Structure 1
Amino acid sequence: MKTNTPQAPIRIAIVDDHTMMREGWRLFIENAEDLAFAWMAGDASEAVRKVDEDTPDVLVVDISLPDRSGLELIKDLRLLRPKLPMIAISMHDEKLYAQRALKAGARGYVMKSAPQKVLEQALHRVASGGIAVSEEMSEEILKAFSSGNATESKDSISELSDREFEVFVLIGQGKNTGQIAEALRISTKTVDVHKMNIRAKLGMNETGELAYFAIRWAEGQKTN
């Protein structure tokens, strides 16, 4: 007579630079029946080291990390561990980052404000080989691919690197150089370099022109 072997819990690792968020994830995972907490990391370099030492079943990566963009980390880990399922998390609306996250190699995108049920469903879906984005975002992605536009389009915004795009989004939110530096845990000099590169890619000469364009772009995203 056959007996059902209990399925091993899904081991989850977290990469987030905010201690409270990491602890919140730990509590959430430890209280879920079929999930198990593997480890946590506060930045990209620590995450790479820990993945090498102990590869989890699913890795949850915050997009905004102090040493480099979470999307860049996802790209690196995709090369190092092609079979490792990853979910990108962020405080930003998924319309801004979901397609970039999937293009980088993530299998899902979840906002930090999502209910625990949505987070749990996303972890299970990604662990079983699926893609975890909202129904609305799924439709947007399908429309993009069916029309041939997808993320391969070469508009000026898509030409920005992941970190440059983060800076651009924050400019669109009306944040100044110091506030952007604080939000991304980088120096004001680094922010200025990113702004210079963004202006070059967008064909702009003046800082004021960039701010105006970024704010108008952000307003357009809200109405789409």
Structure 2
Amino acid sequence: MSIRVYIVDDHPLVRQGLTQIISGQEDLEVCGEAEDSSGAMRGIESSNPDVVIVDISLQGNNGLELIKNLKAIHEKLPILVFSMHDESIYAQRALRAGAKAYVMKKESSDKIVDAIRKILKGEIYVSPRVADQVLHQIVNGPTNSSTSPVDRLTDRELEVVQLIGRGLSTREIAESLHLSVKTIESHRAHVKEKLNLRNATELVQFSVQWVDQQDN
């Protein structure tokens, strides 16, 4: 019996590429796909996959929120994050949310297959760089010199920074995340406090620069 894989990514070409990689394995098959969190929740419930591949950037709730929601319902479902976002910032967040693997999109296709097989055996799959990062923090504890400023932010606060950096207004962010304007304003205030930003202008400047760094 084939191992059933469900794909969640907002780019059709990425879903197509993953499908080709997975279908090239005799014992793996794609049982469904979705472009956003709400579609994924419905599709995963009906298709009952053995493993799920999730991107961080999704419309509506992002991949981290989707992982948390999935794990609340399907505690033992193995989840692999496949993303363009810097693993040094997002890998540990993904693991804390409940994912078992983090693979960057720049990696070769065989890494995806290796990661799927590893997490199905109950193991964790991350790059040597992330493994070293985690071990360093266990041994030495987090240090200000080795961490990014955004490490102080919660997953939701980081998501708000991303959306600010992409030019969305407070109301647009609230609509995108299905939250109230007041809640988004509270997140903005917490971000400014944690990052020592004096006003809304500095918050926007920081957010735009940070998003540019992630995209390049």
TM-score (norm 1): 0.76
Shift of the alpha carbon at 1:33? 2.5
Q: Which residue is equivalent to 2:45? A: 52
Structure 1 counterpart of 2:32, which letter?
W
Name the CA shift for 1:163/1:142 in 2 (closer, same or farther; >3 Å): same
How many pairs are equivalent? 203
- List runs of 5+ in structure 1 lacking aligned partners: 1-7
- Deviation readout 1:63-115 (Å, 9 max, x if unpaired): 11112111011011111011100011211110110000000000011112211
CA offsets, 1:97-134, max 9 Å, x none?
00000000000111122110111111111111111110
What are the ranges of 5 or more consecutive residues in structure 2 without an aligned counterpart? none
Aligned equivalents of 2:112, 2:39: Cα separation in 1: 24
1:90 equivalent to 2:80? Answer no
Q: Which amino acid aligns with 2:75?
A: P
Q: Which moved more, 1:158-167 or 1:74-83?
A: 158-167
TM-score by length of 2: 0.78
Match of 1:118 in 2: 111
Aligned CA distance change for structure 1 residues 60 and 195 (closer, same or farther; 3 Å):
farther
Provide the alpha-carbon RMSD of the alignment. 3.4
Conserved? CA contact 1:110–1:119, under 8 Å? yes
Provide the rounded CA distance (Å) in 1 between the counterparts of 2:8 and 2:184: 24
Spell out the pairing of 1:138-177 with structure 2 (5 A cutoff): 138-149=131-142, 157-158=150-151, 160-169=153-162, 175-177=165-167
- Equivalence for 2:190: 200
Name the CA distance, whole Å, in 2 between partners of 1:191 and 1:60. 31
Displacement, 1:202? Answer: 3.1
Does the C-alpha gap of structure 1 residues 146 and 208 become closer, same or farther in structure 2, counting only changes over 3 Å? same
Identity among equivalent pairs (%): 37
Q: How does 1:29-108 map to 2 (within 5 A)?
A: 29-108=22-101
Q: Shift of the alpha carbon at 1:205?
A: 4.0
Task: From the CA coordinates, give the structure whose radius of gyration is larger.
Answer: 1
Q: Is the 8 A contact 2:166 2:208 kept in 1?
A: no
